[in-house]
A and B are shown apart, each in its own frame.
Chain A
Amino acid sequence: MANVISDETMEYVGILAKLELSSEEKERAKEDMAKMLDYIDTLNELDTSGVEPMSHVFPVHNVFREDVVTNGDEREEILANAPEAKEGAFVVPKTFD
């Protein structure tokens, strides 16, 4: 296996992905990711110098519209899905003192 994922890298990816793995999960994830990256490294056989990266197959443009409200008041329906809501707003954990 060419790629080895360090604990530091896993820690960093955990921060980026907002995921917290158990130590057992972490070991498995390290191995899985190393295997996947080995596999992905086969792309290095291809000479892509001078090739433009293609994010969309067709040219995509921003879609603009007039700044006019088209939807109705759906506050109740939307808040009904919130894990916690109070006085017409989402409740989040305290973020600053």
Chain B
Amino acid sequence: MDLMKDTAVTLSEKIRAGEITVMDAAMAAMDAIREKESAYHCYVTVLDREAVLKRAQEVQKLIEEGKLNGPLAGVPAAIKDNMCTRGVRTTCSSRILEDFVPPYTAEAVENLEKAGVVIIGKTNMDEFAMGSTTETSYFGATKNPWNEAHVPGGSSGGSAAAVAAEECIFALGSDTGGSIRQPASYCGIVGMKPTYGTVSRYGLIAYGSSLDQIGPMAKDVRDCAVILDAITSHDRKDSTSVKREGGDFISALINDVKGMKIGIPKDYFGEGIDEDVREAVLKAAKVLEAQGAVVEEFDLGLVKYAIPAYYVIACAEASSNLARFDGVKYGYRTPEYEGLHNMYKKTRSEGFGEEVKRRIMLGSFVLSSGYYDAYYLKALRTKTLIKQEFDKAFAKYDVILGPAAPTTAPKLGDSLSDPIKMYLGDIYTISVNLAGLPGITVPCGTDMNGLPVGLQLIGDCFKEKNIIRAAYTYEQNRGFAMNAPAAAKEGGENR
């Protein structure tokens, strides 16, 4: 019995029924990591086996005493390495935080621990979540488990690959411009970004604070809903945390979309989209239509302005957020310097990678006097217009359906040479962050090279239940099982 094939829900059921122990599950995960990590490099830090075992024993005891009985009790999971974990190094995949050991734990991670989850490691990512391929990590690239010559996507590429490679049962990621949904799509798993403010950002190392949101990356829609339930909380330590109604995401796992209105933006199927992606996504729309959804095309508008607006806003916020890395309180400090300012400059120049420096500089520029109005305020005004476009769309539709990305996973080394081309890969995900909306991606097939294609469903703010319901219905009726890549490679059928 390979426990790593289970979903979080089925594994926890077995544990709570006494068929297996939390220790069995945790050690199965540790063994999987030992066996596969050299091929995929999903993790920056794997926890010490003894420490994992000790934590598993504690959880086992709580389950036996009846103090833990939720649907995630005993499940081993991985955390993106930009979420602080007390006593466990947290690097953001950057040299500047190579040895940083946080004195506190991120709220979302703490919520998982309260639910009885056993954390087994910290996953690789693009440095400070800036990138779409996980290649900008200081610790080296992660490989796509479907084909090791390809990237897993990014920036939560380590989390996505770890779930796909069965090196954990589920993972947390963070999404600033598509960083959960795009790698989930490239790795053939389910990933969800909730409405801004749903999950506390306390302990999430900030990139673009007005856009960042933590979310689940898992094997199926049910797991996603269950995990989101566990990590959602109103947290006074995050001033943008929303005290929201309409939680209980599990109740949206309904296999029925009769009468649901689904809009497909024509603008999402224009220039630059792969034929295989277009076909797989439109086929998925047909599946939902056959289940009774009312599907029609519409003009979303302003799609091409989302990426430039995003880069102004995200880089501006990044330049401010990353000002804290100065070689004084934590992290790397250059060994040789002359005076305070030289120490700052050398520390940051040596500690940050190229993409991070590029974004900090662009952000500093657009915020500088003389350019602030022309660039920064212009981008914020564009954001207003983009939000209005979505408001108009959601007056007519319950769900917006489209691809997660225009292509399947590119080859390693192909993206970084041309930043703008790489940025264009985020065209379907980025506007969702600008408008604060929830979005979920579900595997909807493979391309001619056997690489996964992801369907993206977007909902109005706080209407996660609509997209969970549509995603669940699609998953139940798509007519194929999304195998793990290992099984698919051995000749298992995906279509």
CB distance from A19 to the nearest CB of B (A): 5
B308 nearest CB neighbor, chain A only: A40
Partner of B436, one of A58, A62, A63: A58
Within B89-114, the residues touching A (CB, 8 Å) are 99-101, 103
Interface residues of B in 296-315 (CB under 8 A from A): 302, 304-305, 307-309, 311-312
Segment of B31-39, B262-270, B286-294, B358-366 in the binding face: B358-366
- Contact A63–B362 (Cβ < 8 Å): no
Contact B333 A83 (CB under 8 A): yes
A18 to B356, CA, bound (A): 13
How long is the Cα–Cα vector from A74 to B343 in the complex, in angstroms?
A: 26
Separation of A28 and B490 alpha carbons in the complex (Å) = 45
- Give the complex CA separation of A45 and B339 in angstroms: 46
**Contact present for A56 and B329 (CB under 8 Å):** no
In the assembled complex, B332 has its CB within 8 A of some CB on chain A: yes
Q: Is A27 an interface residue (CB 8 A)?
A: no
Q: Which residues of the other chain, B, contact A80 by a CB distance below 8 angstroms? A: 101
Residue of A at shortest CB range from B323?
A18
User: Which bucket holds chain B's interface residue count?
Assistant: 35 or more
Asked whether A60 and B343 contact (CB < 8 A) given A12-B368, A18-B348, A43-B379, the answer is no
Q: Which residues of B contact A53 (CB under 8 A)?
A: 377, 380-381, 383-384
- Interface flag for B435 (CB, 8 Å): yes
How far is it, in angstroms, between the C-alpha of A33 and the C-alpha of B419 when the chains are bound? 11
A77 to chain B: closest residue by CB: B103
Judge whether A23 is part of the interface by a CB distance below 8 angstroms.
no
B-side contacts of A42, CB under 8 Å = 304-305, 308
Chain A 49-61 interface mask (CB, 8 Å, partner B; 1/0): 0011111111011
Chain A residues near B348 (CB-CB < 8 A): 17-19
Instruction: List A residues 81-95 near B (Cβ within 8 Å).
Output: 81-84, 90, 92-95
Structural contact, B323 and A54, CB atoms closer than 8 A: no
B-chain residues with CB within 8 Å of residue A94 when the two chains form the complex? 339-340
Chain A residues within an 8 Å CB radius of B321: none
A69 touches B (CB below 8 Å) = no
Say yes or no: B101 contacts A93, CB within 8 Å: no
A46 CB–B CB distance under 8 Å: yes
Q: Do residues A19 and B345 form an inter-chain contact, with CB atoms below 8 A?
A: yes
Residue of B nearest to A92 (CB): B328
B327 within 8 A of A: yes
How far apart are the CA atoms of A39 and B357 in the complex, in Å? Answer: 19
Closest residue on chain B to residue A5 by CB atoms: B365
Interface residues of B in 225-255 (CB under 8 A from A): 236, 239-240, 242
Contact among B330, B333, B375, B381 for A40, CB-based, below 8 A: B375
Question: Is B349 in contact with A81, judged by CB distance below 8 angstroms?
Answer: no
A81 adjacent to B101 (CB under 8 Å): yes
A78, CB-defined interface residue at 8 Å: yes
Query: Roughly how many angstroms separate A40 CA and B308 CA in the complex, as a whole number?
Result: 5
Q: Which among A16, A40, A43 is the interface contact of B364 at CB below 8 angstroms?
A: A16
In the assembled complex, B147 has its CB within 8 A of some CB on chain A: no
Q: Which residues of A contact B101 (CB under 8 A)?
A: 80-81
**A39-B196 in contact (CB<8A):** no
In the complex, what residues of B have CB within 8 A of residue A62's CB?
Answer: 239
CB distance from B319 to the nearest CB of A (A): 6
Question: Among B323, B333, B365, B368, which residue has its beta carbon within 8 angstroms of that of A84?
Answer: B333
Q: A18-B345, A46-B305, A78-B103 are known contacts. Are A52 and B381 too (CB-CB below 8 A)? A: yes
The CA-CA distance from A16 to B311 in the complex, in Å, is 18
Contact A19 B236 (CB under 8 A): no
- The answer to whether A83 touches B349 (Cβ under 8 A) is no
Q: Which residues of A contact B331 (CB under 8 A)?
A: 81, 83
Given A36-B420, A43-B378, A81-B331, A29:B384 Cβ within 8 A: no
Q: Which residues in A have their C-beta under 8 angstroms from that of B494?
A: none
Chain A hits for B367, CB < 8 A: 16
Contacting residues, chain B, for A7 (C-beta < 8 A): none
The answer to whether B435 and A58 have CB atoms under 8 Å apart is: no
Nearest Cβ distance between residue A8 and chain B, in whole angstroms? 12
Q: Is B47 an interface residue (CB 8 A)?
A: no
Residues in A with CB closer than 8 Å to B10 are none
Residues of chain B contacted by A48 (CB below 8 angstroms): 378, 381-382, 384-385
B356 to chain A, nearest CB (A): 10
Closest 9 CB pairs of A and B: A53-B380, A57-B436, A83-B333, A81-B330, A48-B381, A77-B103, A16-B364, A20-B345, A17-B364
